[in-house]
Amino acid sequence: MDNCIFCKIINGEIPSQKVYEDELVLSFKDINPEAPAHVLIIPKKHISSLNELEKEDEHIISHVFMVAKEIVKELGIEKSGYRIVTNCGEDGGQTVPHVHFHLLGGRSLQWPPG
């Protein structure tokens, strides 16, 4: 997708601190971390938001969570705990229109979020 910052990270036009990659997903460190551990997990397929998710994308999204399960072990936050968040639309605070999952941990997180 032209002009999508996350598609540019996927194709290497914009550098990132890669945490994990396979044929379906990419994970990299968030450039503006909100917690000691803050990575993004994104599908390689450009999907603008959860609103645009199709039935055929189901396996990608479930794969995201299987990958997250492995990343939390590498980050050492499996036992202490963590949160996975997807922001959608204006009220949800989505700023990048390529669906992504924030994985946050390494500190005690507030609930409910602001």
Residues that bind ligand AMP (CB under 6 A): 5, 14, 16, 28, 30-32, 40, 87, 93-96
Residue 110 binding partner per list Zn ion, ligand AMP, none, with a CB distance cut-off of 5 to 8 Å that depends on partner kind: none
* Closer residue to Zn ion, CB minimum distance, 48 or 109: 48
Q: How far is Cα 38 from Cα 11, in angstroms, rounded to an integer?
A: 21
* Closer residue to ligand AMP, CB minimum distance, 37 or 94: 94
Signed CA dihedral, 89, 13, 68, 58: sign only: positive
> Which of these ranges, 1-9, 49-57, 87-95, 102-110, lies near Zn ion under the rule CB under 5 A?
1-9
Counting Cβ atoms within 10 Å, is residue 26 exposed (0-12), middle (13-18) or buried (19+)? buried
